[in-house]
């Protein structure tokens, strides 16, 4: 018997990046099975198809992999390529799908959300281009979860995923592969590994904090084994089911150990951290933090120094809440710059159509068309390659960049786990008043325009509405507000603040100070503290 009756679960709606729930929700009988079957059904079945499977090593990933393998077999899949130990970073999974010409892939991760039995789990389906399923597909999956009556699962013993090699599950081949090798090889085709080896040989120092998540094995292989950085360059390098209790979100709040080392006396030349599934990155120099919105701008401005982009960039794209720093670089380079909704799934069409080479999000996500996911270690290697080519420190590169392009002071304020109704009411009120804001002034700032962002994909014409509120002030400052689509508790309000200073004066301020008038104006307009009773944000990046 491979067909099992089931009944729908509420709330299996994929968010910004797949379905994320408390691990115990996923562990309920049939919850995972329903979602996987709905996914298979929504993509037209998996008969005869090849899939890639892997995840970030978090709790329940191995058990979930066994379920998915048995379901793929019962649904007629021809082959599933699995990372050894059910491990694959998100960018490595994207690469494997593309390299092996697979029909799609299942990534088991809740990314930057903590892991463990009492924390979060997640599942995401990627398409044959290696990128996250677009909205039309995630909506079809959700629709299917609401009417599901049965799923298919083979009754068979677990597959050994600890050893590289092939085995069979019914008529399906299970191919266990080294999760690191192909990805590391891909990096060698993009970057000047010889120059990077030279950099470390000359005594350049680096700290890479893998936060007990999936990038550890990749970072050790690339930086220590292939590039010759000293042992110990990578810390928290062993992926653990609960990430060792760390919150694998590479930002100053959660990567505080690394921050302390980089800001302290005698810190390394360069520092970086990555998230649970390896698609995010934080970049630091000795004594300096690089805002992710600035990072994508610097990478775009210097990309031609990197072998993989020596021919120039096709174009760039950023998510709407990301600062306009990269727009200025694109204008200087004479290339297109696209503005998309939050979430990497919106970049895929632009990359497939050959319109953009680099993409970035303010949330520590940068990547390029080498895969169809954002890629944390790729960003680290981009920075290293640029440092090697320019022979300058991170601080020097940043200072040069601001002098040349001006500075987009930027910060994101997160209010986590707000009561959902309260957050919805607050933004609902803002929506109702949005048209009346134009011309009104707050803290000396006059509203130039305000709207709710709606995106029309320039490649396939699909429309994604209600993607965040934008309030633009005269002089180029702005605030953006939206609710997170990756949280698992209540509602998380994200407030994105930006102010442009052309220079040459005023380029060295503290961002929170530079943004203080916009923060105060936002409070006057939206009343976040007044309505939620919160004194301030939970996380500032």
Q: Which residues bind ligand VG1 (CB under 6 A)?
A: 16-17, 111-112, 275, 279-280, 319, 342-344, 361, 363, 365, 484-486, 494
Work out whether 362 is an interface residue with Co ion (CB under 5 A). Answer: no
The least CB distance from residue 398 to ligand VG1, in Å, is: 22
Q: Are residues 127 and 27 in contact, defined by beta-carbon separation less than 8 angstroms? A: no
Question: Residues 266 to 295: which contact Co ion by CB under 5 A?
Answer: 275, 277, 279-280
CB 474 within 8 A of CB 521: no
Using the minimum distance from each CB to Co ion, give the nearer residue, 34 or 342: 342
3-state DSSP assignment of residue 165: strand
Distance, first Cα to last Cα, the chain? 52
Residue 488 interacts with, from Co ion, ligand VG1, none (CB under 5-8 Å by kind): none
Q: Which does 16 bind (CB under 5 to 8 A by kind): Co ion, ligand VG1, none?
A: ligand VG1
CA dist 516 → 114, 410, 435 (Å): 31, 11, 25
Whole-angstrom distance, CA of residue 290 vs CA of residue 364 = 10
Q: In the bound complex, which residue of the shown chain has the CB atom lying closest to ligand VG1?
A: 111
Angle at 246 between CA 243 and CA 248, to 5 degrees: 80
- The Cα 467–Cα 339 span in angstroms is 12
Under the criterion CB under 5 A, does residue 366 sit at the interface with Co ion? no
Find the farthest-apart pair of alpha carbons in the chain and give their distance in angstroms, rounded. 73
**CB 419 to ligand VG1: min, Å:** 17
Report in angstroms how near the CB of residue 129 gets to ligand VG1 at its nearest: 17
Look at residue 484 and give the partner it binds from Co ion, ligand VG1, none, a contact being a CB closer than 5 to 8 Å depending on partner kind.
ligand VG1
Identify the active-site residue in 17, 65, 89, 111.
111
Neighbours of 42 (CB within 10 A): 20
Burial class (CB in 10 A: 0-12, 13-18, 19+), 226: middle
DSSP 179: T
Tokens 């104006």 belong to which residue?
Answer: 521
Q: Which does 343 bind (CB under 5 to 8 A by kind): ligand VG1, Co ion, none?
A: ligand VG1
Locate 373 and state its tokens. Answer: 């996911």
Q: For residues 227 and 326, which CB has a smaller minimum distance to ligand VG1 in the complex?
A: 326
Shortest distance in whole angstroms from residue 111 CB to ligand VG1: 3
Strand partners, 368: 358
Cβ atoms within 10 Å of 479's Cβ, excluding its own: 25
Q: At what angle do helices 181-190 and 90-99 cross, to 10 degrees?
A: 80
Residue 385 near which of Co ion, ligand VG1, none (CB within 5-8 Å, type-dependent)? none
CA 136/CA 121 separation, integer angstroms: 23
Q: Residue 90 CB, nearest distance to ligand VG1 (Å)?
A: 7
Rounded Cα distance, 86 and 69, in Å: 11
Return the number of the residue (279 or 457) whose C-beta is nearest Co ion: 279
Which of ligand VG1, Co ion, none is residue 375 near (CB under 5 to 8 Å by kind)?
A: none
**Shortest distance (Å) from residue 275 CB to Co ion:** 4
In the bound state, the residue with its beta carbon closest to Co ion is 111
485 binds, among ligand VG1, Co ion, none (CB under 5 to 8 A by kind): ligand VG1
Beta carbon nearer to ligand VG1, 112 or 236: 112
Binding partner of residue 84 among Co ion, ligand VG1, none, CB under 5 to 8 Å per kind? none
Please state, in angstroms and rounded to a whole number, the distance separating the CA atoms of residues 501 and 388.
29
Query: Does residue 111 interact with Co ion by CB under 5 A?
Result: yes
CB of 430 to ligand VG1, least distance (A): 17
Q: Closer to ligand VG1 by CB, 65 or 281: give it.
A: 281
- Based on the residue annotation, tell me whether 111 is a catalytic residue of this protein: yes
- By the 8 A CB rule, do 174 and 66 touch? no
Residue among 95 and 342 whose Cβ is closer to ligand VG1: 342
Stretch that binds Co ion, among 108-116, 182-190, 248-256, 434-442 (CB under 5 A): 108-116
* Tokens of residue 233, six digits: 């360059």
**Closer CB to ligand VG1, residue 71 or residue 283?**
283
Q: x/- site string to Co ion, residues 177 to 196, per CB under 5 A? A: --------------------
DSSP assignment of 422-469: HHHHHHHHHHHHGGG-TT-EETTEEEEEEEE--EE-TTT--EE----E
- Residue 368 Cβ vs ligand VG1, minimum distance, rounded to whole Å: 16
For residues 41 and 414, which CB has a smaller minimum distance to ligand VG1 in the complex? 414
Q: Any long-range contacts for 438-442 (C-beta under 8 Å, 24+ apart)?
A: 442/520, 442/521, 442/524, 442/525
Q: Which residues are catalytic?
A: 111
Residues that bind Co ion (CB under 5 A): 111, 275, 277, 279-280
């Amino acid at each position: 018997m491979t067909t099992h009756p089931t009944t729908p679960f509420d709330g299996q709606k994929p968010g910004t990046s797949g379905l994320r729930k408390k691990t115990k929700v996923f562990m309920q009988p049939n919850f995972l099975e329903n979602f996987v079957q709905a996914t298979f059904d929504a993509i037209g079945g998996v008969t005869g198809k090849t899939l890639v499977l892997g995840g970030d090593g978090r709790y329940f990933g191995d058990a979930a992999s066994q379920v998915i393998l048995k379901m793929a077999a019962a649904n007629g899949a021809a082959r599933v390529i699995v990372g050894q130990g059910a491990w694959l970073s998100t960018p490595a999974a994207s690469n494997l799908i593309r390299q092996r010409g697979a029909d799609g892939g299942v990534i088991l991760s809740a990314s930057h959300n903590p892991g463990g039995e009492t924390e979060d789990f997640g599942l995401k389906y990627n398409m044959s281009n290696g990128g996250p399923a677009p909205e039309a597909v995630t909506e079809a999956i959700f629709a299917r979860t609401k009417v599901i009556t049965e799923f298919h699962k083979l009754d068979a013993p677990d597959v050994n995923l600890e050893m590289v090699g092939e085995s069979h599950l019914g008529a399906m081949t299970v191919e266990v592969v080294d999760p690191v090798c192909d990805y590391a090889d891909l990096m060698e085709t993009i970057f000047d590994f010889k120059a990077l080896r030279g950099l470390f040989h000359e005594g350049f120092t680096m700290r890479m904090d893998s936060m007990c998540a999936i990038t550890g094995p990749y970072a050790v292989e690339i930086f220590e084994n292939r590039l010759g950085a000293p042992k110990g360059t990578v810390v928290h390098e062993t992926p653990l089911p609960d990430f060792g209790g760390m919150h694998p979100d590479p930002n100053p709040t959660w990567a505080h150990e690394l921050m302390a080392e980089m800001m302290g006396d005698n810190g390394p030349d360069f520092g970086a951290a990555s998230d649970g599934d390896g698609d995010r990155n934080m970049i630091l120099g000795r004594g300096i933090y690089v805002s992710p919105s600035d990072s994508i701008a610097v990478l775009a401005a210097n990309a031609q120094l990197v072998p993989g982009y020596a021919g120039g960039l096709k174009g760039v794209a950023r998510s709407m809440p990301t600062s306009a720093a990269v727009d200025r670089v694109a204008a200087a380079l004479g290339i297109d710059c696209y503005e998309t909704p939050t979430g990497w799934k919106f970049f895929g069409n632009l990359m497939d159509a050959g319109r953009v080479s680099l993409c970035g999000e303010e949330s520590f996500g940068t990547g390029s068309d080498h895969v169809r996911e954002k890629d944390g270690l790729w960003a680290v290697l981009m920075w290293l390659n640029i440092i090697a080519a320019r022979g300058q420190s991170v601080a020097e590169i940043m200072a040069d960049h601001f002098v040349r392009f001006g500075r987009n002071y930027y910060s994101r304020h997160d209010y986590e786990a707000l009561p959902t109704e309260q957050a919805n009411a607050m933004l609902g009120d803002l929506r109702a008043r949005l048209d009346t804001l134009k011309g009104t002034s707050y803290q000396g700032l006059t509203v130039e325009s305000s709207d709710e962002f709606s995106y029309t994909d320039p490649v396939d014409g699909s429309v994604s509405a209600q993607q965040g509120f934008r309030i633009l002030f005269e002089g180029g400052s702005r605030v953006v507000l939206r609710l997170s689509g990756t949280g698992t508790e209540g509602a998380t309000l994200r407030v994105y603040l930006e102010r442009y200073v052309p220079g040459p004066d005023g380029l060295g301020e503290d961002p929170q100070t530079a943004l203080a008038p916009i923060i105060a104006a936002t409070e006057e307009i939206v009343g976040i503290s007044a309505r939620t009773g919160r004194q301030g944000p939970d996380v500032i990046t």
